[in-house]
Amino acid sequence: MKVQPDYSYDNAPRFDILLVPGGLGSRTEMYNKTTIQWVKSRMDEVKIMASVCTGALILAEAGLLDGKTVTTHWNSYDRLEKDYPNQSLDNLSESSYRLMRRHVKKQKK
């Protein structure tokens, strides 16, 4: 699969919703100053800004999660708590993950 964007950060149109994805790329993009600045600049323009999984690390690096209750992929809880202490971590998803894993194991028996 190949992704070909129609816009760059410089000429992207206004969005109603900005969804910041997670995954392996988020752990490098969170240190990309251009990406972080662009995300910050869009905060006042969008109606909804949200992240999926470790995309929360990008929003945290941009300072957009300060004072908020947040969550991320269970494997990044420690990083989020240690590197971004100005938000409250809700690790409910860890409990959900463990419950789901137990359910899947029971189904396989």
| Catalytic residue IDs | 53
Neighbours of 31 (CB within 10 A): 11
The residues, ordered by sequence, that sit 6+ positions from 66 with a Cβ below 8 Å of its Cβ are 86, 87
Q: Determine the longest span between alpha carbons in the chain, in angstroms.
A: 53
Please name the amino acid found at residue 73: H
